[in-house]
Structure 1
Amino acid sequence: MRSLSLALTLSALLATPALADVSCGGNFAGFVQKMKAEALAKGHSKAAADRFFAAARHDPSVIKADRAQGFFQKSFVDFSRAVISQNRMQNGAANAAKYKSVFDRIERDYGVSRGVLLAFWALETDYGQVQGNFNTLNALMTLSHDCRRPELFQPQVFAALTLYEHGDFDPATTQGAWAGEIGMVQMLPKDILENGVDGDGDGHVRLKTSAPDALMSGAKMLRHLGWRANEPWLQEITVPADLDWSKTGLNHKMTVSQWAKLGVKPRSGSLGPSSLKASVLLPMGRNGPAFLAYPNFEVYFEWNKSFVYVTTAAYFATRLEGAPVFNAGNPEAGLSGAQMKQLQQKLVNMGYDVGGVDGILGEKTREAVQSVQQKLGLPADAWPTPALLAKL
């Protein structure tokens, strides 16, 4: 989720933070010694710890990347058009054919559709071509030493040590993303320990060089995160012009049959099971694209926290399985980053939790916008416009 222009992703956010094992900051060499001592306390051998930590270095470029990482301010339409290229579609079809037997196993064992993994594989690393060139140990140690989120990264260091002891991690040569993710679908060491699968039967889990290992491991992780086997995740729909827009959004759910009674129709194919709960998702308001988001869509947010990225990845998965290009509609103009910050600050002043004044239209900001639209008597489609900003 970090290669190419997708530096927005910090899939380290998947983990539930605990307290840091070792105090952060201070002299880095001293910090390495404290981490080594903690490794021994956790039961790792002194010889393995000595070898593992011998090459650890502080990497200022990791801190620079961490501080500079930003969530995309592009709209869903612009972002998806930028990252879903014809080349990625063609390579997706080629890889689907090349690894058909692997995807067949994944769908049988984990119930995760092949388009879902193909889309992640494409957006994460361009099907393995761009996996990141940061030394993984240095990245994890640097972020563990930094006092911003040490509780998130220190467990990943010890997980990497365990992988090293298993012969699946080289502290000197293993490279990946700046936040420590490794391989074709960018997984953290702890996730690899918990969900790694030897897909090619060679006795090792090698996510950098083995597509079967990477794909099977990604599927297992999705199941671990709550993926519901053999259920849909996202589907483009058409909605009636008189729909009650206040019922839309991920915080509002009804059964598929209830949505159908309100006039929601599939743009292609048929809707999911009638008893399945779903939300009507309008990424750019009532005049833009419209989707029905099923329970599996929420699992995407366990993999990535960006609303635009998640919606794009889920839509891309449907495209790879034959869905048509979305109908972009004619949405109203949105806000610039600076205008979004102004709006968010106004919402905060009104008592709303927008998840931070960051210029990003995330889910909390969308919910606050929808609430304000209702109070002002505007169509409550959660899409902020210059007109709404002016009213506030």
Structure 2
Amino acid sequence: MRLLPTLAALVLSAATATSAAAQCGGSFNSFVSGLKKEAAAKGYNKSTTEAFFANVRQDPKTIKADRSQGVFQMPFLEFSQRLISQNRIDVGRKKAQQYASTFDKIERQYGVSRGVLLAFWAFETDYGAFQGDFNTLNSLVTLAHDCRRPELFRPQVFAALELYDRGNFSPTKTTGAWAGEIGMVQMLPADIIENGVDGDGDGKVSLKTSAQDALMSGGKMLNHLGWRAGEPWLQEVTVPANLDWSKSGLDTTLPARKWAQMGVKPREGSIANLPASLLLPQGRKGPAFLAYPNYSVYFEWNKSFVYVTTAAYFANRLEGATRYNAGKPDAGLSGAQMKQLQTKLKARGHDVGKVDGILGKLTRRAVQAEQKRLGLPADAWPTPKLLNAL
């Protein structure tokens, strides 16, 4: 369910960003010929390259999937309740016991808590049960040819070629998610090269068939993305009715003790001695969380605010936290209304990115600014009242 490739893709893309070969669109066959020429320039022999690209095809289903991500328009409560079921909690806790020694090793080596990986494992593939049936090479080349995000996917084509050259990728048989991720925790080819781990000791990195390999690799990748060992990521809190709501959101980070002085209290445990942001996914009347530095690492895995917050919350649930206090949020906007709002915000000079009906970081920032200007509670939750006021 990842929206964008991870940091590894950005690093690998730097080498080709200025290359004349890093183009998109046009004839698909001509585009593939360009990929072959670039592969030769990178030092791959002709027979390897020809065999790798021999059966590649443009996949319209991949483009359709890329354009159909309406699930991220859901508000946090609806999204989290759709993804988190009692069965997923029960299975997750059983998996934690089944692979306890692997999780212990991950925590020792990479500092990543088991709930974090269990949540990704659940959301990405339902603990390995549904890993995707898209031909990985076709998806990667299709997305590299498409002109929406070629700079992100083109490097992954060559990462897959490198895996093939090493004997760890099949152009015709390797399958996964529509965006090219492979295995139980859905890792892109460049991530596998950089972070693949033989967790079960059989001499191979098999992310599709070995839970130990997939979990260890996921743990290593999170560690490389900046995960801080022994620290929390998200903590549910209660907030006073008279809080300065304009301080909420990811743009404001304060020492946790400052939040405590303002009346923010943890529902369970104690507030960590760390910098934190106050998250109100559905405004001041809905659930509230303190987001610690590790929370930001989630955005290297997925760019969606609602996905990231749900995954971080689910990690807590898998480690024994109680269900959140849903509260009674004010009514939000439909997808069509959200697009109207984004259009109005853009007209007022705000950068909201693409008008897509998704309440992302930029739209939240713009909403909060307009709420403050209009004298409304600046909790970044857009309502019909705000839409009408604009």
Name which of structure 1's ranges 321-330 and 374-383 shifts more when overlaid on structure 2.
374-383
The aligned runs of 1:88-127 (5 Å cut-off) are 88-127=88-127
Counterpart in the other structure of 1:196: 196
> Which residue identity does 1:11 align to in structure 2?
L
- Contact 1:71-1:360 within 8 A present in 2 as well: no
What SS is found at the alignment partner of 1:235?
strand
Fraction of identical pairs, as percent:
68
Compute the displacement of 1:71 (Å). 5.0
In the alignment, the residues of structure 1 paired with residue 326 and residue 185 of structure 2 have an alpha-carbon distance, to the nearest angstrom, of 29
> Which residue identity does 1:94 align to in structure 2?
K
In the alignment, the residues of structure 2 paired with residue 353 and residue 296 of structure 1 have an alpha-carbon distance, to the nearest angstrom, of 26
> Which residue identity does 1:335 align to in structure 2?
L
The aligned runs of 1:1-392 (5 Å cut-off) are 1=1, 9-12=2-5, 14=7, 15-16=9-10, 17-18=13-14, 19=17, 21-70=21-70, 72-273=72-273, 276-392=274-390
Aligned residues: 383
What SS is found at the alignment partner of 1:237?
strand
- Contact 2:6-2:191 within 8 A present in 1 as well: no
> Which residue identity does 1:53 align to in structure 2?
F
> Which residue identity does 2:292 align to in structure 1?
Y
CA shift in 2, pair 1:71/1:352, >3 Å: farther
In the alignment, the residues of structure 1 paired with residue 388 and residue 164 of structure 2 have an alpha-carbon distance, to the nearest angstrom, of 57
Compute the displacement of 1:31 (Å). 2.8
In the alignment, the residues of structure 2 paired with residue 99 and residue 59 of structure 1 have an alpha-carbon distance, to the nearest angstrom, of 37
Compute the displacement of 1:99 (Å). 0.5
- Contact 2:112-2:229 within 8 A present in 1 as well: yes
Compute the displacement of 1:63 (Å). 2.0
Compute the displacement of 1:34 (Å). 2.5
1:206-245 CA-partner distances (Å, limit 9, x unpaired): 1111111111111111112121121110000111111111
What SS is found at the alignment partner of 1:206?
coil
CA-atom RMSD, angstroms? 1.4
What SS is found at the alignment partner of 1:11?
coil
Name which of structure 1's ranges 318-327 and 60-69 shifts more when overlaid on structure 2.
60-69
> Which residue identity does 1:277 align to in structure 2?
P
> Which residue identity does 2:254 align to in structure 1?
M
CA shift in 2, pair 1:391/1:119, >3 Å: same
Counterpart in the other structure of 1:5: none
CA shift in 2, pair 1:350/1:25, >3 Å: closer
- Contact 1:22-1:38 within 8 A present in 2 as well: no
CA shift in 2, pair 1:349/1:120, >3 Å: same
> Which residue identity does 2:102 align to in structure 1?
V
- Contact 1:118-1:317 within 8 A present in 2 as well: yes
- Contact 2:246-2:368 within 8 A present in 1 as well: yes
In the alignment, the residues of structure 2 paired with residue 100 and residue 94 of structure 1 have an alpha-carbon distance, to the nearest angstrom, of 10
Compute the displacement of 1:12 (Å). 2.0
In the alignment, the residues of structure 2 paired with residue 157 and residue 203 of structure 1 have an alpha-carbon distance, to the nearest angstrom, of 25
- Contact 1:235-1:293 within 8 A present in 2 as well: yes
Name which of structure 1's ranges 19-28 and 358-367 shifts more when overlaid on structure 2.
19-28
In structure 2, runs of 5+ residues without a counterpart are none
CA shift in 2, pair 1:25/1:383, >3 Å: closer
Name which of structure 1's ranges 296-305 and 58-67 shifts more when overlaid on structure 2.
58-67
- Contact 2:330-2:383 within 8 A present in 1 as well: yes
Name which of structure 1's ranges 231-240 and 201-210 shifts more when overlaid on structure 2.
201-210
